[in-house]
Amino acid sequence: MSLSAENKPIHTILLDASPILLNTPSISTLTATCNTLVTTSAVISEIKGEEARNRFETLYKPFIEIHTPKPESINATDIEVLALAYELECERNGGDWRLRSVPGQKRVNGAPPKKEEQLAIVQADDAPSVADTTRDAAGTAGEDKRLEETTEGLRAATLESAVLGQQPQEESVPLQAKDEVEEILKPEVDGVPELEEDNLADSDDGWITPLNIKRRKAKDEGAADTKDQPQKTLQVATMTGDFAMQNVLLQMNLNLLSTKSCKRITNIKQTIFRCHACFQTTRDMSKQFCPRCGKPTLTRVTCTTNDKGEVKLHLKANYQWNNRGNVYSVPKPTAGTANQKWKGPKSGGGQSGWGNDLILTEDQKEYQRAVKGQQRSRQKDLMDEDSLPGILTGQRSSAGRIQVGAGKSINSRKR
């Protein structure tokens, strides 16, 4: 193995389909980070686009080794990637001693394997002999005595010089002894590190600029900062963009890499919904009503998942719920307006039929009808010649969200 290969931070990187399809990070970054790139045949079969296929054939294929996990694992692409990562981890580290077998397991399976012969040799080499111990003790006693005499001589010379109003003579103390004395008498204040000019300068961490955009993205993704940590080689690491696979890899204590910064990820960042009324959380981002209390009080919050499976919510400080638009009069219901069978002179509701299609709960017919109509409008035939994009027709959508309630401007003029 060459010297450059030994200095690489990672030995083996297991690639999923997302880094190859998105081409992030580039193949040059991957080869500079690890010694071996590994994937499965099922991952390659998922690359069906012409551009991605050509990029894989020309750039990735010469550097990637195709492995197939053992037949005991399920023949699904994600399971194959996880099984291969597990097998390579056990192969490179001599067992599953650093992994977790059961979800929620607090500690790893065991200690690193050590050979008894090597351990005995190391203990024999580290154990000092009797002669060495006696020699070291005698030498230490002699050095302490000589250092004490030198210290007393320097103190006496300094006191005499202070009484006579003269500077102490440096020639009276040997250079080596003086260095030893200065090291002993050095005040503890010198141990405080000096402030560097970089720390005194203004920090630009508060602004996102083209220079620090990649670092901020890596920080938001949860990549571990290894600037002050010693360089340590990871035997096997997996790179994927699937959140479910990332969660499983972290809980098993398998090494996970970021697809943007190529750094190790210690926790996963995700956005979920949290009910402001009953504090229920849900990961279904298409919900508009709380699945527990049924109120439209879902707020978007950020959560992180660590390698132990613990979920931590990051809430806004001093958050105040906006009560604007919560107090208004609901028109009296009119029979037949819910199923659109009313054919009278007035369509029901308030002035000019306001409040006829007012949505307050999830189980209303108006809400179910609006959801189906929204799904139907999204299904467009690409071969339809009469279909025009919204930028040409002037049609504007409400960001895919159905209006719940009367809105925030309920006292505005109703047309």
Q: Which residues are annotated as a binding site for Zn(2+)?
A: 275, 278, 290, 293
Longest dimension (CA), the chain: 119
Rounded CA gap, 37 and 354, in Å? 63
Question: Residue 248: which of 117, 78, 124 has the closest Cα?
Answer: 78
Q: Which two structure tokens, joined as six digits, stand for 46?
A: 């998922």
Rounded CA gap, 4 and 267, in Å? 30
| Annotation: binding site | 275, 278, 290, 293
Q: What is the DSSP letter of 223?
A: B
Q: What are the φ/ψ torsions at residue 54 (nearest 5 degrees)? A: -65, -40
Rounded CA gap, 31 and 9, in Å? 11
Long-range contacts of the stretch 256-260 (C-beta < 8 A, 24+):
257/10, 257/13, 258/218, 258/221, 258/222, 258/223, 259/18, 259/19, 259/22, 259/24, 259/25, 260/24, 260/25, 260/214, 260/217, 260/218, 260/221
Contact 264, 249 (CB under 8 A): no
Work out the angle at residue 115's Cα, subtended by the Cα atoms of residues 113 and 117, and round it to the nearest 5 degrees: 165
In degrees to the nearest 10, what's the CA dihedral of 253, 313, 24, 55?
A: 80
